[in-house]
Each structure stands twice: as structure tokens, then as C-alpha cells.
Amino acid sequence: MWTFKYAVLNIAYFVAFCTIHAYAAVYLLANGFSNTEVGLLLAVSNIASAVFQPLVAGIIDGPGPLTNRLYVLISVVGILAGCVILMFVPGRKVPVFIIFALIYTLQFVYQPVLTALCFEYRKAGCGIFYGLARGMGSAGFAVASLFIGSFVERNGVSILMWISIAAMAVSAAVMLAFRKPKTEDESKDAGFEGSGGQGVAHNSLRSFAGTYPAFMLFLAATVCFFFAHNMINDFMIQIIRDLGGQETELGIANFLQAILELPVMALSAVILKKLSADKLLMISGAAFFIKILILVFAGNMAHMYLSQSFQLFAYAVFVPAGAYYVSSTMEELDQVKGQALITSAITVGGVFSNFISGYILDHYTIKTMLLTGTAVCGIGVIIGMIAMLRLPHHVMGSKA
């Protein structure tokens, strides 16, 4: 039952993620934004997300009334309200910019909190199968993608807000019923699994970096991987139009990459028994590189679909491998920070991608944009290999 409820939360989250993130460019272009303005809005939102993700994690971990569950519920209600407002201001660029940036940011910030919620409840004795539930979220994204493209072509971009409202309403209903069993040593919700347990907390950035040098360098590689990843996702409609497709093909492409995430994430625990998390992270980096390299030479939609199929080894591997890497290499009291820093690095990659991709599209070509993404991702692969093969993962005895 707990896995089912957590899976519903993931499905609802990623259905809304599809409408708000995967179709952000479609929605904003239809509301009169240029490619540069789209890039600026997404970059501003990603910067805000990168700032607030570790900040929120720290507040939740500290004393006070804010818990993982409460923060997720607040975010869900905020996104729902924002989508309702957007229904009444179509084509008005200033309010659309402000409200869309807010809901985009809110959705990114509560993603790592949703992960923390799972491990917190598992610690309290709730049997949640994380890999399966997270994989179901990807399946929800996939199914939504398959239909949303054709819905937009027939009904316009307002359908995106209606779907987001429905998904957030489901999330709110589930969160209200998502109550953790009381344990003797808990008076409030904790953070990521193990927070509040044994070990030493490394609260300063210098101390944290000195304790986990491989992880800190790998964050730089993560920025590079997700520079390329976000370039493809945020401006996929322009890439597809350049290849002769439209919104329907966008839906199919998103469906393909998302549905492939399900088996890998569902089997993540089995895979991690065969290959360590650090090796899987290197494999995922190479897959991100191959995925965008294929698009550099793409001449039709078949090539686009081939590129999307590498999601099986890229993002689908990175998400569980990153979570288990943090869990296996860090002190318990550092794991919330580790999880938040991965999400922040992903977000920072999106910031640079949004700024640079929007500008390139308005002044140069799709090919120029993709070559830039390929070069940056290639640098990330080299950095990632150095981090994971040459540096220690955990330096014992570092001072907090």
C-alpha cells in the first residue's frame, strides 16, 4: 500500500512535470515569447531552484514545524494555484513570465524533498520500493507525453494547465492521506534516510568538500551532463521541427525516453548488486554524450527516436545510481546535503543550458546548439572519470 501511494505521488508529479517542463517552450512560444526569452525564463527559474533546494533541505532537517510532507503539500497547492491563474492571463507576457517561473521553480525544488520523503518513511517502517515507485513516475511521464502532444495540436496550450491542475489535485489528496506511523524517537518528520542518525555532519562547504572530494568533482561533471540533457529537453520542439516533426512527434519522443526509464529504475537494486554506483554514474555520463552526439548528425525523426532511446542508459541510470552513491559513501547526517547538491548541480546545468541554448537558437542554428552541448558533455565525461577513478570517495577523520 505504501509503495502504491508513493507511486501515485510520483506519477502525478511527473505528469505535471511533463506539462510544465517538457512543454515549457511550447507553452511560452505560444504566448509570444522568443527563444531567448524562453531561455531567460527557464534560466531564472533554475537559478532560483539551485538556491532554494539546499536551503529548503536545511530548514526541513532543522527544528521547526516544516516537514517533508508539509513542504510537498505546500508546493502542490502553490503549483495548482499558479496554473489556475495562468488560465486567466493568456498572451500577457509579464504575468505569464512571473507565474510560470514560480511554478517551474516550485516543482523543481520539491523533487528532492519527494525523494527524502520516501527514505524518511522507509526508516519509520513503511515498505516503499523506491525504484519501482520512481519508475512508475517515469511511466506516468511517458503516457502523458504520448497523448499531450496531440491534445495541444487539437486544443491549444491551455490544455497543459488543465492537466497540471488535475495532477496537482491528485497529489494534494494523496499527501493529505500520507501519514507516517509514529515511532518512539521521532516527534517530527526527518529528512533523507539516516539524517538524525549516526555519523558526523560536515556543515561547512570546505569540510564537506574535503570529506567527499570525488563527489564534489563529480558535481562538475553532472553540470556538464545536464547542460546537454536540458538542452535537448527544453528545446526539443525546435529540434523536432527542424527534423520535420510537430507536437505529436514531441509527445512520441518524450514517451519513448520516459517509458525506457521504468525497467532500469525498477531493477536498480538488482543492477547495483552487479555494478557499483560509481561505475554506473560513469556509464550514464557516456550515455548522455552519445545521446546528444546522435542528434548532431540526425536527418529525420528516426534518428531523434534513436537518440531518445539512450535515456535507458543515461538519466534512467543516473537517478538511482546518484541516490545510492550518496547513501553508500556519505555519513548519515550528510546525506540530505548530498542529495540536494546533486539536484542543485542538475539545476545549474539547466541554467547554463537555458541561457546559451536560447541565444544560439535566435542567432545561429540548431546544429550549432547541439555541437555546443556535445562539447560540454564530452568535457563532463572526462571530469567524471577523473573524479570516480582518481579521487577518494570518502576521507575519514575530516573535521565538521
Residue 395 lies in a domain: no
Residue 399: predicted pLDDT: 59
For residue 25, what are the contacts with CB-CB under 8 A and spacing of at least 6?
35, 38, 234, 235, 236, 237, 238
Residue 397 lies in a domain: no
Q: Which long-range contacts (CB under 8 A, 24 or more apart) does 365-373 make?
A: 366/238, 366/239, 366/242, 367/296, 369/231, 369/235, 370/231, 370/239, 370/292, 370/295, 370/296, 371/296, 372/231, 373/227, 373/228, 373/231, 373/232, 373/292
Domain count, the chain: 1
Residue 266: predicted pLDDT: 86
329 grid coordinates: 559513501
Q: What average pLDDT values come out for the chain (400 residues) when binned by 10 residues?
A: 93 94 89 88 86 81 81 96 94 93 93 84 84 87 84 90 96 91 51 44 78 95 96 90 90 85 86 93 97 96 95 92 87 77 88 87 93 98 96 76
| Burial classification of residue 117, based on how many CB atoms lie within 10 Å of its CB (0-12 exposed, 13-18 middle, 19 or more buried) | buried
Residue 400 lies in a domain: no
Selection from 309, 350, 251 nearest residue 15 by Cα: 251
Specify the pTM.
0.77
Q: Go through 183-203 and write b for each residue having 16 or more CB atoms within 10 A of its CB, e for each that does not.
A: eeeeeebbbbbbbbeeebbbe
Residue 398 lies in a domain: no
48 grid coordinates: 532560483
Residue 195: predicted pLDDT: 39
Residue 396 lies in a domain: no
Residue 190: predicted pLDDT: 37
Residue 66 lies in a domain: yes
Residue 120 lies in a domain: yes
Residue 201: predicted pLDDT: 64
Domain carrying residue 70:
2-390
Residue 122 lies in a domain: yes
What's 199's domain CATH number?
A: 1.20.1250.20
Cell 495562468, residue located: 86
